[in-house]
Amino acid sequence: DAGVIQSPRHEVTEMGQEVTLRCKPISGHDYLFWYRQTMMRGLELLIYFNNNVPIDDSGMPEDRFSAKMPNASFSTLKIQPSEPRDSAVYFCASSLAGLAGASVEQYFGPGTRLTVT
């Protein structure tokens, strides 16, 4: 299996521009997670989906952030408009058991490094 695929790997954009990050989970996995990693705040869960339905978006920082999962093999995280403080590495992860069981394992993608100037 190819693992979780994210694109782009690096994104540099100017403040105010729209940014779209993409994720393809491992085939057959029914949970998908979006995380943000920064030096200041560490690793934060932004939102997660189960069977393409958003379950918990309490970690989404503000209305500028939105996430969709139109089908089982694709998800997007959009920031509009982007700001310099959004600069971070964004990870997508997927899992089979999700968050319901004790033996859960999440498989992470390589991340997208976003720089907003």
The reply on whether position 2 binds other proteins by CB under 8 A is: no
Question: Of the ranges 17-25, 63-71, 73-81, 101-109, which one interacts with other proteins (CB under 8 A)?
Answer: 101-109
One of 32, 106, 114, 116 touching other proteins (CB under 8 A): 106
Is 49:31 a contact under the CB 8 Å cutoff? Answer: yes
Binding mask 34-73 for other proteins (x = CB under 8 A): --------xx-x--x-------x-----------------
One of 32, 75, 111, 116 touching other proteins (CB under 8 A): 111
The reply on whether position 105 binds other proteins by CB under 8 A is: yes
3-class SS string, the chain: CCCCEEECCEEEECCCCCEEEEEECCCCCCEEEEEEEECCCEEEEEEEEECCEEEECCCCCCCCEEEEEEECCEEEEEECCCCHHHCEEEEEEEECCCCCCCCCCCEECCCEEEEEC
Residues of this chain that interact with other proteins (CB under 8 A) are 4, 42-43, 45, 48, 56, 91, 93, 99-100, 102-111
